[in-house]
Chains A and B, each alone.
Chain A
């Protein structure tokens, strides 16, 4: 059989924990006014940074940065990839097919939304759409795939 590029099943639980934490912090930042400095600031090595006022670009500059937003993104990306791409307990050809169709579906939906947003959403709200769009392809896939799995369980 062809290589499936999937990860071992044992990481899936860890994935759920990271993903749920990431989404929880993400919601807290977005809707409950918690900002990126909430847990303090730590130094980051910015390969590229830009001064807002002068528009000067800086390369390889160490700067302090509130890390909650980075943490949210890292948790959602790691958690999402683990949840989405860890094998199920018995990963067979039928489940692989559901996985593939869910992935195709989520890419369509994700870019469908982005396509509409490009045409109909502007300025800061468009920036918000782009931020969410970083994660939605993974999230749509995870939701779709698990609904399909659930349905197959109850067939």
Chain B
């Protein structure tokens, strides 16, 4: 899975730490998601989509390996 978290974050102009606080997770979690080290749960994914005001598919995309 790949993601456009960084881009979305830039559009909303928030740092990892700010985003983490808004969503209610740790900064490490946001970082791990951006680095593709962690696949977030559905709930967390939906929260991210709600904050970025885009569809989930705009943030996360399946790749060949999935």
Binding site for B on A (CB under 8 A): 88-90, 92-95, 97, 149, 152-153, 155
How many inter-chain residue pairs (CB < 8 Å) link A and B? Answer: 38
Q: Is the beta-carbon distance between A94 and B29 smaller than 8 angstroms?
A: yes
Interface residues on B, range: 10 to 19
Binding site for A on B (CB under 8 A): 20, 24-26, 28-29, 31-33, 35, 37-38, 40-41, 44
A-chain residues with CB within 8 Å of residue B35 when the two chains form the complex: 155
Measured CA separation A49–B35 after assembly (Å): 57
Q: Is the beta-carbon distance between B26 and A92 smaller than 8 angstroms?
A: yes
Measured CA separation A97–B26 after assembly (Å): 13
Q: Is the beta-carbon distance between A155 and B32 smaller than 8 angstroms?
A: yes
Residue in chain A with minimal CB distance to B33: A94
Measured CA separation A92–B41 after assembly (Å): 11
Q: Is the beta-carbon distance between A92 and B25 smaller than 8 angstroms?
A: yes
